[in-house]
Amino acid sequence: MDGLSLTSFFSDGAAFWWWLGLCLTLILVEMATMSLFLLWPGLAAALVAVIVYIVPGLGLAPQLIVFAIISVALTYLGRSYFSSSLGQEESDRPMLNQRGAQMIGRQVTALRDFENGVGSVQIDDGQWRARLADAASGAEISSGAVLTVSDIDGVTLVVAPRD
């Protein structure tokens, strides 16, 4: 029972099977989350298990230091490798999930008169809040006016009178 005492754990360090348990736990969580982040500390735990098996007298502090160094190194190397090899593929529709960005440059119709540079516009079958790009100009925008979307600010379209 002496091999499992808390004093022995801190003075002699964790046994290699503790590190294998940590490795297995981290890899299982990685498989569940698919974040490609816990993979690297999991592999570091496996490497520390091998080191502890080869050098059984290694204390806990050196084990933790080796684990930290290997984890950081593998995370850095793994992220840089996978970010380039699993990089974003060029899409034929790069703005697919950026609905607001898709609106820029489109023609919209004012649904009612703008007050203080703010109003609502119709685009496709939706109604959007809009504000004038140059509200200080004092331009009068009346219902039915055709405007051009020049930018988006959150969920508000920034519009300008059509040239």
- pLDDT for residue 5 is more than 50: yes
Task: Check if CATH label 1.10.10.10 holds for domain 99-161.
Answer: no
Structure confidence at residue 36 (pLDDT): 83
Structure confidence at residue 68 (pLDDT): 96
Structure confidence at residue 81 (pLDDT): 80
Domain ranges of the chain: 2-85, 99-161
Contacts of 116 (CB under 8 A, 6+ apart): 135
The closest of 104, 112, 95 to 149, measured between CA atoms, is 104
Residue 161 — very low, low, confident or very high, per pLDDT cuts 50/70/90?
A: confident
pLDDT greater at residue 7 or residue 120: 120
Sign, Cα dihedral of 23, 25, 26, 27: positive
- pLDDT for residue 131 is more than 70: yes
Query: SS3 of 144, please?
Result: coil
Structure confidence at residue 1 (pLDDT): 43
- pLDDT for residue 26 is more than 90: yes
- Cβ-contact 74, 37 below 8 angstroms: no
Residue type, 53: Y
Query: SS3 of 26, please?
Result: helix
- Cβ-contact 48, 66 below 8 angstroms: yes
Percent of the chain with pLDDT over 90: 41
Percent of the chain with pLDDT over 70: 81
Structure confidence at residue 63 (pLDDT): 92
Out of 24-28, 99-103, 115-119, 153-157, pick the least confident.
99-103
| Residue 157: CB atoms within 10 Å | 24
pLDDT, tens digit, 9 for 90 and up, residues 54-104: 998 888 889 999 999 999 999 999 888 877 656 556 667 766 677 777 788
pLDDT, tens digit, 9 for 90 and up, residues 37-51: 899 999 999 999 999
